A and B are shown apart, each in its own frame.
Chain A
Amino acid sequence: MSFQPVRFYQTGTYTVGNRLLDEAQRTVQATVARANSLTSGHRACQGCGEALGARYAMDAAMHASDRQMVVVNATGCLEVFSTPYPETSWQVPWMHSLFGNAPAVATGVAAALRVKGRRNVRVIAQGGDGGTTDIGFGCLSGMFERNDDVLYICYDNQAYMNTGVQRSSATPAAARTATTPAKGPAPGNEFGQGKFLPEIAMAHRIPYVATASVADLRDLEAKVEEATHLRGARYIHVLVPCPLGWGAASSDTIRLARLATESGLFPIFEARFGEVSEARPIRRLVPVNEFLRLQKRFAHLFEPTIDTERIAVIQAQADRNIKRYALLP
């Protein structure tokens, strides 16, 4: 007699929508009262990691702030696909000013709310990696340094996707973009220090810095909820795969985010006042190969021959993260 094992959801995992969990532990998305801050009908691509991340982050913040919040959005995919005039997907007070000034605009909103005596209204600024690590970096650092009462969330898809996949300072080594083509003796993006903004944010000694990814949405929610309750400058950096820019299947968005974290390439941690307070251990370590080979932007590392030398350098970057953040306790 054949039998089929019955699988139960397990409590204690971060499985989104887990209805066996205690009410208080359930994800915001599992509740009928979720805010739907970013409603359906927007124009993001199929499998967009940023739309997913933003929706979870904003709903969690709405939940945590009791719907008392204002959002400032930098120019970018998220802004363009959510607000093509005369439509808007936002169910929250939302403002877009420029590409590089979202942190400063958010500072202004927070100042106005303080003057008006509305300290219960929380201010969130958000943008992509270009708006955050490049053009908006000065304003972001200023906002951090003043410890303004703003939560800034960066959705990092590792290039300028809105303008057609050009390199940003968050683009990983060897990745092909429209401005780092897979041509010449060293195809793809240069190998360098890159710019890992969470560590730069930590250097400002702000109350809260965290990383998250769309592979672990309950973790993202929990971090946004925690950050929403805190005062002062806070920063959350969310890895959001982009099927278009990464040259990956739309169905692989979550898988890629998970492989990025499980390989150590993108460490998941929290830091308070400049010190790492918690790092999420890798559950099943994978070599960087598994992350890289699903993406056309890294195809030149595998074809026509396998570029073991450069893959080894990328592996070394992952190993360094694992060591630095103690991801394999």
Chain B
Amino acid sequence: MLKQIEGSRAVAEAVALCRPEVICAYPISPQTHIVEALSEMVRTGDIRPCEYINVESEFAALSVAIGASAAGARAYTATASQGLLFMAEAVFNASGLGLPIVMTIANRAIGAPINIWNDHSDSMALRDSGWLQLFAENNQEALDLHIQAFKLAEALSLPVMVCMDGFILTHAYERVDIPSQELVDSYLPPYEPRQLLDPDDPVSIGAMVGPEAFTEVRYLAHARQLQALALIPELALEFSQCFGREAGGLISEYHSEGADTVIVALGSVLGTIKDVVDALRAEGASIGVLAIKTFRPFPLDAVREALAQAKRVVVIERSFAIGQGGIVADSLRKALAGLHIPTHTVVAGLGGRPITTVSLERLFRTALSGALANLSFLDLDQGAVDRVLAHEREVRRSGPLANRIVHEIARTSVRIE
């Protein structure tokens, strides 16, 4: 059924269609609308049978999901930003225990300085936690990925994060097609755990493993993630056959075949990028887009194949490894090892700064002319940071990074076009 609804509501409807049995949540912007909608659906009996647990922290939220999943229930939670970091220990634990929990990440920046707006720092900080990570481009895909996520998680016995841009997607009203319960039931079978906390067949879960077997356990975790590289395209294909539309997969290409310059990105910014690329292609520019849909496991082979003929790759990243550079670009360089394709990192949209068509067009023209630096920051107020740096050279005092730059930017009141 077509509906004009908020992204969070669409995700809640998708989760409900997946028949979750335990939902636990601790509120954090911009995840709140998802768990509010779900609490209502549980209260009214639209999701049944299901337990909705209001917990006292994100650490407890995921811990409740861990217990529920180990006891055989399909478990779901959602979080963002500080919340994901607060539950970090349990994030690693859930994957180590092989529990197929699905968790929505309403992507948001991490403080300090505190910032509630969108970027990918949260998901990226936990990218090596053993979870699968899927990134949604729009609200329809966010909805669809949740349905795929439960199937994927339970097939591999691994937890899955469905990442969607906070506010940009979670709070945007868009038309989405909500599938029928029958259709979802035909795609997603009930959860059948491999191992269960059951008095009739007692097992010990979570024993201590020493040096004699720890490496093997980690190897198996890696092997399972590599299995996902084969399974994710299969599930995406099955999904499209069942639901009549494309969603998910490892990567998706947009005019990238034969393009000299390929823009790589993940998440909602892809829509804006495609608009700008359309305009430039209309002028005859050789430019295309590669969307990363699955960030963990990272599809090295698929990316390499897709980009092998490119002359230049530009990665638009909504996150940044401080002191090192681009996180996605790093993985790309690994995928392109030996191919000698220049790979540029563009850090954009941190802490909710809009990534506009105007800025992207300017950026892409620079890239097409061959003048793009290895690492650049879209719409950076270079003057303001230079003044702060100059000031810091003169005054040797420790203190927060934010104060002076905020003052500088307010003083010059830079307008972002």
Contact = CB atoms under 8 A, between A and B. Distances in A.
Interface of A: 67-70, 72-73, 79-80, 83-88, 90-98, 100-101, 104-117, 121, 138-139, 141-142, 145-146, 148
25 contacts: A69-B199, A70-B197, A83-B206, A86-B213, A87-B207, A90-B202, A90-B204, A91-B202, A95-B67, A97-B93, A98-B89, A101-B66, A105-B67, A105-B70, A107-B53, A107-B63, A107-B67, A108-B24, A108-B64, A109-B67, A109-B197, A112-B21, A112-B75, A113-B71, A148-B53
B57 A138 contact: yes
A72 B97 CA distance: 14
A291 B40 CA distance: 56
Contacts of A69: 199
B199 A108 contact: no
Nearest to B26: A142
B64 A93 contact: no
B60 A112 contact: no
A91 to B, nearest CB: 6
B198 A93 contact: yes
A109 B71 contact: yes
Contact of B208 (A85, A104, A106): A85
Nearest to B205: A95
Which residue, B57, B71, B197, has most C-beta atoms of chain A within 10 A? B71
A60 to B, nearest CB: 16
Contacts of B65: 108
Which residue, A92, A112, A138, has most C-beta atoms of chain B within 10 A? A112
B368 interface: no
A93 B205 CA distance: 8
Contacts of B2: none
Nearest to B97: A97
Contacts of A106: 67
Contacts of B197: 70, 93-95, 109
A146 B57 CA distance: 13
Interface of B: 21-22, 24, 49-51, 53-57, 59-60, 63-73, 75, 89-90, 93, 97, 196-199, 201-210, 213
Contacts of A100: 59, 89
Contacts of A111: 22, 24, 51, 53, 64, 67-68, 73
Contacts, number: 161
A95 B24 CA distance: 19
A67 to B, nearest CB: 6
A138 B59 contact: yes
Contact of B68 (A73, A88, A92, A108): A108
A112 B63 contact: no
A2 B205 CA distance: 61
B210 A84 contact: yes
Contacts of A88: 204, 207
A291 to B, nearest CB: 33
Contacts of B67: 72, 95, 97, 104-112
Contact of A70 (B49, B64, B66, B199): B199
B207 A138 contact: no
B73 A104 contact: no
B57 A108 contact: no
A104 B71 contact: no
B63 A101 contact: yes
B51 A114 contact: yes
Nearest to A139: B60
A83 B71 contact: no
Contacts of A86: 207, 213
Contacts of B201: 93
Contact of A115 (B50, B196, B207, B210): B50
B22 A112 contact: yes
A58 to B, nearest CB: 12
B73 A115 contact: yes
B49 A115 contact: yes
Contact of A105 (B57, B66, B196, B198): B66
Contact of B64 (A105, A114, A121): A105
A98 B90 contact: yes
B245 to A, nearest CB: 32
Contact of A108 (B56, B63, B208, B213): B63
Given A84-B210, A97-B63, A117-B49, 13 more contacts: A67-B199, A94-B203, A95-B70, A95-B205, A97-B93, A104-B64, A105-B63, A105-B67, A109-B70, A111-B73, A112-B21, A115-B73, A138-B57
Top 6 A-B pairs ranked by shortest CB distance?
Answer: A108-B67, A142-B56, A104-B63, A112-B71, A112-B73, A96-B206
A14 B130 CA distance: 51
A107 B64 contact: yes
B49 A85 contact: no
Contact of B56 (A72, A80, A113, A145): A145
Nearest to B64: A108
B204 A79 contact: no
A92 B63 contact: no
A92 B202 CA distance: 5
B97 A104 contact: no
Contacts of B90: 97-98, 101
Contacts of B210: 84-85
B56 A94 contact: no
Contacts of B72: 112, 116
A68 B75 CA distance: 23
Contacts of B49: 115, 117
B15 to A, nearest CB: 15
Contacts of A145: 56
Given A108-B22, A115-B22, A138-B60, A94 B202 contact: yes
Contacts of B64: 104-105, 107-108, 111
Contact of A142 (B55, B199, B208, B213): B55
Given A92-B199, A107-B67, A112-B68, A138 B205 contact: no
Which residue, B54, B93, B202, has most C-beta atoms of chain A within 10 A? B202
Given A108-B64, A115-B50, A141 B56 contact: yes
Which residue, A95, A110, A146, has most C-beta atoms of chain B within 10 A? A95
A101 B60 contact: yes
Nearest to B55: A142
A142 B73 CA distance: 21
Contacts of B59: 100-101, 104, 138-139
Which residue, B21, B70, B72, has most C-beta atoms of chain A within 10 A? B70
A84 B206 CA distance: 10
B199 A68 contact: yes
